[in-house]
Amino acid sequence: MLKSHKKTQKAAKLASNLVLGIETSCDETAASVIRRQENGRVQVLSSLVASQNEAHAPYGGVVPEIAARAHMQKIDGLIKGAVRAAKINWDDLDAVAATAGPGLIGGVITGLLAAKGLSVSLDIPLIAVNHLEGHALSPRLTQNCPFPYLLLLVSGGHTQLLSVKGVGDFTRLGSTVDDAAGETFDKTAKMMGLSFPGGPALERMAAFGNPNAISLPRPFKGKPHADFSFSGLKTAAARAFDNLGNMCEQGKADIAASFQQAVSDVLCDRTANAMEMFKQNKRAKPDASTDNPDSPDRLVVAGGVAANATIRAGLNNLCADKGFTLIAPPLKYCGDNGAMIALVGAEKLALGQSDRLDVKARPRWPLDIKSAKQNPASGFGKKGPKS
């Protein structure tokens, strides 16, 4: 429900909305201003991302305390910079949106508190955004991508296949039972002594290798469901690395290329099953307004790992084979950014949704809460289902 902000009624009626988006869930501090027209067209007026890579590199992974401190140091300057770069005044903003989870809680609290402060001082609605929904809707920043679509969400913390029927309307078709794809890239890269962040470093090294040089497993390949498992693949890559002993750069490149190909094959195999499920669900519910059985089938790939060229090529071939259209955000919107958070905020605002000031930051926040509770493939810890 929209609250009684002085701009709220105006915002709901406006032909376009200006929304500030704030992202602080992991190791990127980001802020962006977007304009969303009533017809769904979006203009990104500014998108600033401050990476913390250098601070975490010595540890080979994200250190939560370092991340939280860096977000606190950077957030004010970044927000001011985003508003300045958008060439707007503070008063022009119609709403402020911030990631409220899932993520590293210290960082999430920092961004959400900044958004709450702006909501009060500017008297504009606050929208608490699920970070995963930001990735899920990210292609809609730059292209026409109507609902429904099948989503392969591949980030550092999550690997899931979902049917996306609308804003806030997700059905999980599959999920990882152990590591996420990005996590597997990062851990394998670290094991091979590559620089942080591991995913892009491993892709660069793989460019010089032979993807067929080393035989690696494809976990769950051929199984009828759409779940993922990556831990066996990660262990097999580590064993191949150990077996080669004192290795030349070519040996490393061959392992990197073989590993990357195995991840791509697994993602494509699982996605092929989810495509069947997606089509069946569409046919089974022809009356629902967004479930038009005759609409073209679309696959969206989003999240940091969606930047990987081998994976994009594999999915492209799969889509050509299965009659789907592949939609992927431009590289700058694959990783964490503020524009995708502003977009979810703008889409929710257009639907008359906003949040109270006491909305809480959440370390865990599944997109499909019902499925996550029924079948917590990625664990159901003290803080609730993970995916």
Helix (H, G, I), strand (E, B) or coil at 175: strand
Nearer to ligand KG4, 93 or 233 (CB): 233
Q: Which residue bears the tokens 């431009």? A: 330
111 touches ligand KG4 by CB under 6 A: no
CA distances for 110 relative to 67, 121, 123, 308, 325, angstroms: 10, 17, 20, 30, 38
Of the candidate spans 237-245, 290-298, 304-312, 318-326, the one that interacts with ligand KG4 by CB under 6 A turns out to be 304-312
Of the candidate spans 47-55, 60-68, 115-123, 194-202, the one that interacts with ligand KG4 by CB under 6 A turns out to be 194-202
Show contacts with ligand KG4 in window 147-186 (CB under 6 A): 155-157, 182, 185-186
Nearer to ligand KG4, 122 or 136 (CB): 136
- Taking Cα atoms as reference points, which of 345, 329, 335, 363 lies closest to residue 28? 335
User: Rounded distance, CA 372 to CA 387, Å?
Assistant: 6
254 touches ligand KG4 by CB under 6 A: no
203 touches ligand KG4 by CB under 6 A: yes
Least CB distance from residue 26 to ligand KG4, whole Å?
A: 5
Q: Which of 60, 329, 335, 345 binds ligand KG4 (CB under 6 A)?
A: 335
125 touches ligand KG4 by CB under 6 A: no
Q: Which of 17, 308, 354, 378 binds ligand KG4 (CB under 6 A)?
A: 308
Least CB distance from residue 235 to ligand KG4, whole Å?
A: 18
CA angle 89, 90, 92 (to 5 degrees): 70
Q: Is 160 exposed, middle or buried (0-12, 13-18, 19+ CB in 10 A)?
A: buried
DSSP structure class, residue 38 = T
Give the contact letters, 318-357, x = binds to Zn ion (CB under 5 A), - = no: ------------------x---------------------
- Taking Cα atoms as reference points, which of 311, 368, 307, 333 lies closest to residue 145? 333
155 touches Zn ion by CB under 5 A: yes
Dihedral over alpha carbons 62, 386, 158, 327 (to 10 degrees)? -140
Helix (H, G, I), strand (E, B) or coil at 50: strand
Residues that bind Zn ion (CB under 5 A): 155, 336
Residues that bind ligand KG4 (CB under 6 A): 26, 155-157, 182, 185-186, 197-200, 203, 303-305, 307-308, 335-336
